[in-house]
Amino acid sequence: MTHAAATVDQMLPPYPAERGLDVYNKKLGMWVFLASEVMFFAALIGTYIILRFGAPGEWAKPGVVLNIKITAFNTFLLICSSVSMVKAYAAIQDGDPKKMRFWLLMTILGGAAFVGIQVYEYIHLIEHGFLPSGVREGSELAEKVAKGELPAATMGLYGSTFFTMTGFHGFHVTCGVISMAYLYFTKALPGKYSKQDYGGIETVGLYWHFVDLVWIILFTIVYLI
Amino acid sequence: MHWWLPAKASTFTGPIDGLFLAILIITGIAFVLVEVGLIWFMVQYRQRPGRKAFYTHGNTRAEVIWTAIPAVTMVALGLISNHYWVEIKGRNSVPANAYPIGIHAKQFEWQMTYPGADGKLGTADDFTIRNQLHVPVGRPIVVQLSSEDVIHSFYVPQFRVRQDIVPGMDIRAWFQPTVAGTYEIGCSQLCGLGHYRMRAQVFVHTQEDYDAWMKQAAQEASQ
Amino acid sequence: MTSVAATAHGAHAHHDDRSFVRKYIFSTDHKIIGIQFLFVSLFFLLVGGLLAMQMRWQLGFPGKPMPGGGVLPETMAPGGVILPEYYIQLVTMHGTFMVFFAIMPLLVGVFANFLIPLKIGTHDMAFPRINMWSFWTFLIGGLVMLSSLFVPDGAARAGWTMYAPLSARHDYSGASLGQELWSVSIIFVGLSSILGSLNYITTIINNRAPGMTWFRMPLSIWSLFITAILGLLALPVLSGAAIMLLFDQIIGTHFFDPAVGGQALLWQHLFWFFGHPEVYILILPAMGMVSDIISNGSRKPIFGYHSMVFAIVAIAFLGWIVWGHHMFVSGMNPTLGSSFMVSTLVIAVPSAVKTFNWMGTMWRGNLRFHVPMLHAVAFVAMFVIGGLSGIFMAATPVDMFIHDTYFIVAHLHYVLFGGSLFALFGAITYWYPKMFGRMMSEPWGKVHFWLTFIFYNCTFFPMHITGMAGEMRRLYDPNQYTFLQPLQPIRVFISISAFLLFATQLIFFVNFWWSLKQGKRAPQNPWEDNGLEWSLPSPAPHGNWEKVPTVYRGPYEFSSPQSTEDYLPQYTKLPTDREPARAPVAGH
C-alpha cells in the first residue's frame, strides 16, 4: 500500500459527508459569539440579582433616581430599530438593495439616537449626584437620601450595578452602530449585497436583535422593578 | 520530622482522620493498580521485531466494569463523607450547650472576646484579649467569627478545624478539645503582606484551670 | 470556505509571495499563529518558572540573600533578601503566568490553532483574521501583566484567585497600579480566548474534510472542541468579574467590598464558576493529545474510542456544577457543600474511565518508546496521582483539614505539571516536525524526560507530606509557626529539587532552539501516524492542501489486519473503501 500525499477525489467539494450545520460560517460564528455574550451579561445580571437581594436594606424605589419616561422612549426607539433591521433583511432577501439601504440607515440612526439619549441620561444623572460609587455629597440626591426618600445603605450598590450594566449595554450598542455603519459604507452603498449574498446583513442583524433583547431585560429589572 | 497528620486534640480528629485513612487506602489501591499496570505493560509489551499489536477497539464489558466500580465507590464515599460533614458543619450541628467565644480577625491579629462570668456574649462582663484563645477541655466551644477587613481563615491543625472568616458575614464554627495543652491558630487564607505572621495561641485548660484563668483575666480586663 | 492561497502539490517547494510581516507577524495562517503562541507562551512559562524559583529560595533558605538577587530593587529584595510584600507578588504572579499565559495558551492557543485545520482537513480557520486578533489580544494581555512587575508598588498581591476584598481595595493589599493592571490583563485574556474559541468551534462544525465524520475525529480534536465550548462560556464570566473588580479599584464601585454593602463571596462564586471549567480547559486538550500519542506509541487503536469521547463530554458538563468545591470552608451554605461534594466525586468517574482506557490501549500493544510516548505515559502515571489526591479534598470533612495547605499545592501541580506540562512536552516534540520541518534531538529529549520525571516527583511529592502536617499555602516564612518548624528539612529538599527541575528545563529550551536550525530534517510522517496532517510535507505549507484530502476511516487504525504495515492513515484509500456521500454545500 502507499503512503503518498493526500488521496484526493477530484469530484468532491471540501465538505464533510456528514454535514456541518446547515448555516454558513459567519452566521454560525455569530451564534457562537452570542452564546459567549449571554454568559457575559449573565454574570453582570446575576451579580445585580445577588447584590440586590442580599443588600443590607431597602433598594431605591423605581423612578426616584432614574427617569423612566425618557428611558421608556429610548426602549421604544431600540425596538423600532430592531424592526427596521428586520425590514432591511427582508428587503435584501427580496433583492431590493435600495430599500435595504434605507432601512439599514434607519437602524443605524435609531441605534445612534439610543446611545445619544443614554449619554444625555448619564450626564443628567451625574449632575444630580448619582455616581457609580453612590451618591455625591452635597448634591440633589444627597438631600433626598437625608430626607429618607432614598435608602442610604444601598445607594452605592445601586450606582455600581446601574452604571456597569447599562454602560456595558451601551458599549455593545455603540459597537453595533459602528459595525452597521461600516457595512453601510463599505458594502451596502457600493452595492455589494444582493439576493444571493447578504451574509453581513443577517449576521449583524442577529447581533442587533440580541442587544435589543438584553436591553428589554435590563430595562425591566433596573428601571421598572 | 513529621510524616503523618498532626497530633489529635479534638473530637473531629476521629472521623476526619478515619476518613483520610479510608480514602488513602482506596486511592492507594487504585494508585498501585494503575502504576504497576503501567510498568508491567511497558515491560511486557515493549516493541519487539516481527510482532504486531493486538488489533482491538475495546471491550464493552471491561469498560462497564471499570466505570461501575469507581462510580459505586465514589457514591459510597460521598454518603459517608456527608454524614460527618453534617455533624461537623451542618446548619444545626452546633451543640446547644456550646461555650461561646467571639473571634474578630483583622490585618494581622486576632481579637478573642470572652463571655465573662455569665457565660454569654454581648453582656457587660465580656472582655477581649489579643492573640490568645483560652478554652476548657472536653466541652464544645462555638467561635463566632467576624472580620474587620479582608477574608481570613481560622485554622487549628490539631483540632482539624478550619473556617474562613468573611467580612460582612457572621459565621459560627464549633469544636470540642479533648487534650489539654498549647496549640497554634494560623490564618490560612492569604490576607495581605502580614499573612504569614498572623498567628495566635490556643490554650486548652482543664475546667478548674480555665475557671481560675477566667477569674484572673476578667479582673485584669476590668482594671 | 474562505479564500485560500494557492499552494503547490505535495512535497514541492511552493511559491508564497506574502511579505515577511504578513507571513510571520500579522499572519492569518493558523500554523504561524500557533507557532507565535508557542514562542510567546514558552517565554511566559520561563518567566513563571523564574518566579517559582525565587519563592522556593525564600522557603528553603528564609532570610538568606538570594544568589543573583542583588539585581532586584530595594522594594523587592534589598541585598537579595526577599521581602514579604515581594513574596506575595511572586505567589500571585507565578500562578497567574502559569495558568493564563503558559499552560492555557500552550494547550489551546498553540495546539487548537495548529492542529484543528490540519487534523480535520481544511485550509485554515473559519475566520483567519479573528484568529490573528486572538493572538494579538493575548500578547497585549501578557505584556500588560509582565509590565505590572515593574510598576512602583509592584505587581498584584492577592493570589492568582484574587479573592476580594483584598484585591478590590488598595489599602488592604498595599498594591495599586499592579492590581489594576492584573484586572486589565485578564480582560484581554478573556477576549482572546473568546475570539479563539468561536473560531475553533465554527471550524470544527463546518469545515471538516469529506468523510471526516464526528466519530472519525481524533480525540485531540474532540477535546479541543469541548475545551473551546468551555472557554467560550467560562471566559466571559471571568471577564465580567474582572471588569467589576477593575471598577471597584478605579471608579469606586462597591461590588466586592462588604464595608459598603458589597459581597466578598460573590467574587469567589464568579471566579470559580469560571475557574472550574478553566481547570478542565487546562487538562482536556492534554488528555486528547495524550490519547493520540499513546495510540501511536502502542501501535494499537485507542481502547474504547466512543467512551473516551463521552468521558470528555461528561467531564465538561459536570465541570459546570462543581465550582463550589473550592469553597467548602468559605462560609457558603453547608448544604450546598454536600451537593458540590457529590458532583465532584462523580466527576472522578469519567476521569477513571479515561485512565483505564489508556491502559487498555497499551495492553497487548507493541510499544515504541519515542520521546512523546514517554511523556504521554508519564502523563497517565502522574495524572493518576493528581486525580486521586483530588478525592481527599472532594470529601468535605477531609477538605476542612487540608484546604489551603500544601496538600492542595501538591495536587494542583500533579495535575498541571505532571498532567498538562508532561503532555505538552510530548505534544511539542510530536508535532515539532510538522511545525518546523526538523526533528528535536531524541537523546537529549530522553535525558530531559528522565531528569524532569525524577526532579518533578522530588519537588512535588513531599508537598503532600508538609500539607498533611498542616503547612498553609502562601506563607512567606512558615517557621513563624512552631508546629511547622520541624518541616524545614523537607522544605530545603523541595527547594533543591525545584532548582534542579528548573535547570533541567533548560535542556528542553536548548534542544528546542538548537533543533530549529540544526535538527535532523523531518520526513513527511516521522511517527508513522494516521492523522491527515501527516499527508503533508514537513513543515506543512501555507494553505495546507491544494485540495483537501478525503477521509476513509477513523484516526486510530494501527495494526489493522487490512494493512501489511502497522498503521493505516485516514487518507489512504483501500480498494474496499467507498467514497463518502457528497454533502450539499452549506449556506453561502
Give the ipTM.
0.95
Percent residues over pLDDT 70 in chain B: 99
Q: For residues C374 and B42, is the Cβ–Cβ distance under 8 A?
A: no
What pLDDT is stored for residue B160 in this prediction?
95
pLDDT given for residue C210 in this prediction: 87
- The grid cell for A191 is 452595492
pLDDT digits (tens, 9 = 90+) for B19-43: 999 999 999 999 999 999 999 999 9
- In three-state secondary structure terms, C281 is helix
Integer Rg of chain C from CA: 24
Cβ(A214)–Cβ(A172) under 8 Å?
Answer: yes
pLDDT at residue C3 above 70? no
The whole-number average pLDDT for the span C181-205 is: 96
Task: Output phi, psi for B165, to 5 deg.
Answer: -115, 110
pLDDT band of residue C245 (cuts 50, 70, 90) is very high
At B154-169, the pLDDT tens digits run 999 999 999 999 999 9
Do C438 and C519 form a contact (C-beta atoms < 8 A)? Answer: yes
**Which residues face B121 on adjacent strands?**
none
Instruction: Give the C-alpha separation, C173 to C169, whole Å.
Output: 7
Could you say which DSSP state residue C99 is in? I
Distance CA C573, CA C71 (A): 62
With CB atoms and an 8 Å threshold, state whether C264 touches B59. Answer: no
Strand partners, B187: B154
End-to-end CA distance of chain C: 9
Q: Distance between CA A123 and CA A67 in Å, rounded?
A: 12
pLDDT tens, position by position, A141-160? 999 999 989 998 899 999 99
Give the residue on B whose Cα is nearest the Cα of C91: B190
Q: Over 60: is that where the pLDDT of C387 sits?
A: yes
What is the model's pLDDT at position A22?
A: 74
- Three-state secondary-structure class, residue C418: helix
Mean pLDDT estimate for chain C = 92
Residue C9 pLDDT greater than 80, yes or no: no
Q: What is the mean pLDDT of residues C361-385?
A: 96
**Which residue type sits at A27?**
K
Q: Which of the four pLDDT bands, split at 50, 70 and 90, describes residue C582?
A: low
Task: Give Cβ neighbours of residue B188 (< 8 Å, ≥ 6 apart).
Answer: B153, B155, B162, C403, C404, C405, C472, C473
C247 at A interface, C-beta within 8 A: yes
Q: Which of C1, C134, C255 to mutate to test the interface with A (most CBs of A within 10 A)?
A: C255
Task: Please answer yes or no on whether B195 and C473 come within 8 Å at the CB atom.
Answer: no
Contacts of residue A48 in chain C, CB cutoff 8 Å? none
pLDDT of residue C459: 97
Closest residue by Cα to residue A140 from A130, A122, A128, A148: A128
From chain A residues 33-62, the ones with a CB under 8 A of any chain C CB are 33, 35-37, 39-40, 42-44, 46-47, 50-51, 54-56
Q: Please check the confidence at residue B204 and state whether its pLDDT lies above 80.
A: yes
Phi/psi at C552 (nearest 5 deg)? Answer: -110, -10
Which helix (H) or strand (E) segment holds residue C360: the answer is helix C348-362
Instruction: Read off the C-alpha cell for C341.
Output: 461534594
Scanning B8-123, the segments in alpha helix (DSSP H) are 13-44, 60-89
Continuous segment of H or E residues that includes residue C145 = helix C128-147
In the prediction, which pLDDT does A17 show? 45
The subunits that touch chain A, with at least 3 C-beta pairs less than 8 Å apart, are: C
Tell the residue number behind the cell numbers 462510580, with chain if given: B71
3-state SS, residue B127: strand
Distance (Å, rounded) from C-alpha B11 to C-alpha C263?
A: 33
Position B77 scores a pLDDT of 94
pLDDT at C397 over 90: yes
pLDDT of residue B78: 94
Residues in C 198-237 with any Cβ partner in B closer than 8 A = none
pLDDT category of residue C18 using cuts at 50, 70 and 90? confident
225 residues of chain A, pLDDT tens digit each: 333 333 333 333 344 445 567 788 899 999 999 999 999 999 999 999 999 998 888 899 888 899 999 999 999 999 999 999 999 999 999 999 999 999 999 999 999 999 999 999 999 999 999 999 999 999 999 999 999 899 988 999 999 999 999 999 999 999 999 999 999 999 999 988 988 888 899 999 999 999 999 999 999 999 998
C-alpha cell belonging to residue A2: 502507499
Which residue from C181, C187, C184 is spatially nearest to C152, judged by alpha carbons? C181
Tell me if the pTM is above 0.80. yes
3-class secondary structure, B175: strand
C377 closest CB neighbour out of B42, B47, B157: B42
Q: Give residue C23's pLDDT band: very low, low, confident or very high (50, 70, 90).
A: confident
Name C47's Cβ contacts closer than 8 Å, sequence gap at least 6: C97, C101, C146
Which chains lie within 8 Å of chain B at 3 or more CB pairs, if any? C
d(CA B204, CA C369): 59
Residue A53, burial from CB neighbour count under 10 angstroms (0-12, 13-18, 19+):
exposed
Following DSSP, what letter does each residue of A32-87 receive, concatenated?
HHHHHHHHHHHHHHHHHHHHHHT-SSPPPPTTTSS-HHHHHHHHHHHHHHHHHHHH
